[in-house]
Amino acid sequence: MEFRYIYRGLGVGLLGGLLAFVFARIFAEPLIQDAIDYEDGRHEAQEALDAAAGLAAGAHDHGEVFSRSVQRNLGIGVGMALFGLAVGGLFVVVYLIVSRRCPNIRPRVLAALLAGAGFVGFYLVPFAKYPANPPAIGHEETIGARSALYVTMVGVSVVALGLAVVVGRWLAGRVGAWNASLVAGVVFLVLVGVAMALLPAYGHLGANRAEFGDFATETPQPLTAPNGTIVYPGFPADVLFRFRFYSVVSQLILWATIALAFGQLAERLAVAPARRQGRTAVSAADRPATAASTATG
């Protein structure tokens, strides 16, 4: 029986990843190209400043292992499909564990609750602290530190969500389900709020402060000449906002697909054994009556 759930979980995860890719390809990918164009233009402006100051031009690798066409289509598509598979697999494992502990919750409702918790815990809360960035934002020297901080935030969010659920279930029988839910929500917000306050912003990393100054983010600031004249603008705010907004929507599509599709499939799997038992009971009830009529005849 578990394998029937696992196959369906992987399938809906793949479907969600493909749907998220279609959305990202239409709305987010053009913004990635805008960010790449900005990065190239900024580098050319920096080279002009260096040349005017008599400095050697910095290296800028334009070589690409894969063309932009392959990256924006096959690369992103395969990546999001594999991510959807991974999320679907993790989701179905959690679903099977929780469904055994909470057998009274309908499969459709349980799938929606778990998908909502997964979206908030695995993506939305970490995103609030360390949002997604397009190319041209972020420096090579901080890749390792940024990755470690993001993974830490994901771990804190998931642990906080688990603790909130435990607190809510413990209090439900004492103060009622509604009050227990409110307390659990407060516990979750306090834990993630403390973590966000303690973890540094990307712009406050040592390498960034030393080279670029004290800024909250790694978003490129306006490029200025020695006399203070702006020779190239900072990263466009509208591009950054739309990229982040579409990133959230694409993840929402993935998790919503898992919630709706898997919930429907799980509902059918849960109903099927009951139907079979009903048919078996009716068949068993008919057999004695048939035998009795045969004996009478």
The dihedral formed by the CA atoms of 149, 150, 153 and 155, expressed in degrees to the nearest 10: -110
- Give the three-class secondary structure for 6: helix
| Band of residue 139 on the pLDDT scale cut at 50, 70, 90 | confident
| Band of residue 253 on the pLDDT scale cut at 50, 70, 90 | very high
Lowest mean pLDDT segment, chosen from 58-72, 84-98, 264-278: 58-72
Lowest mean pLDDT segment, chosen from 150-154, 173-177, 280-284: 280-284
Please provide residue 94's backbone torsions phi and psi, each rounded to the nearest 5 degrees: -65, -40
pLDDT in the model for residue 62: 52
pLDDT in the model for residue 126: 97
At a CB cut-off of 8 Å and minimum separation 6, what does 134 contact?
Answer: 31, 32, 34, 35, 239, 240, 243
pLDDT in the model for residue 284: 52
pLDDT at 147 over 70: yes
Q: What is d(CA 129, CA 100) in angstroms, rounded to the nearest whole number?
A: 34
pLDDT in the model for residue 58: 58
pLDDT at 14 over 60: yes
- Give the three-class secondary structure for 223: strand
Q: What is d(CA 87, CA 276) in angstroms, rounded to the nearest whole number?
A: 32
pLDDT in the model for residue 294: 52
| pTM confidence score | 0.86
Q: What is d(CA 132, CA 127) in angstroms, rounded to the nearest whole number?
A: 7
pLDDT in the model for residue 112: 96
At a CB cut-off of 8 Å and minimum separation 6, what does 239 contact?
Answer: 31, 34, 35, 38, 134
pLDDT in the model for residue 279: 56
Q: What are the residues facing 224 on neighbouring strands?
A: 230
pLDDT in the model for residue 236: 95
pLDDT in the model for residue 71: 79
pLDDT at 276 over 60: no
| Band of residue 173 on the pLDDT scale cut at 50, 70, 90 | confident
CA angle 27, 73, 44 (to 5 degrees): 75
Mean pLDDT of 171-176: 90
Q: Match 């898992």 to its residue by tokens.
A: 258
pLDDT in the model for residue 17: 97
Q: Are 99 and 211 a contacting pair, CB within 8 Å? A: no
Mean pLDDT of 137-147: 88
Q: What are the residues facing 230 on neighbouring strands?
A: 224
Between the alpha carbon of residue 191 and those of residues 64, 94, 155, 160, 182, the distances in Å are 43, 22, 12, 6, 14
Q: Are 128 and 201 a contacting pair, CB within 8 Å? A: no
Helix axes 263-296, 107-118, angle to 10 degrees: 170
pLDDT digits (tens, 9 = 90+) for 26-39: 999 999 999 999 99
Q: What is d(CA 61, CA 59) in angstroms, rounded to the nearest whole number?
A: 6
**Sign of the CA dihedral with 43 first, then 47, 53, and 55 last:** positive
Between the alpha carbon of residue 81 and those of residues 19, 85, 136, 249, 262, the distances in Å are 9, 6, 25, 16, 17
pLDDT in the model for residue 293: 52
pLDDT at 199 over 90: yes
Where is pLDDT greater, at 65 or 235?
235
Reported in sequence order, the residue ranges of the chain that DSSP labels E, i.e. its strands, are 223-224, 230-232
pLDDT in the model for residue 75: 85
Residue at 272: amino acid letter: A
Lowest mean pLDDT segment, chosen from 71-80, 104-113, 157-166, 182-191: 71-80
- Give the three-class secondary structure for 125: helix
Mean pLDDT of the chain: 87
pLDDT in the model for residue 283: 53
CB atoms within 10 A of CB 132: 19
Mean pLDDT of 202-209: 85
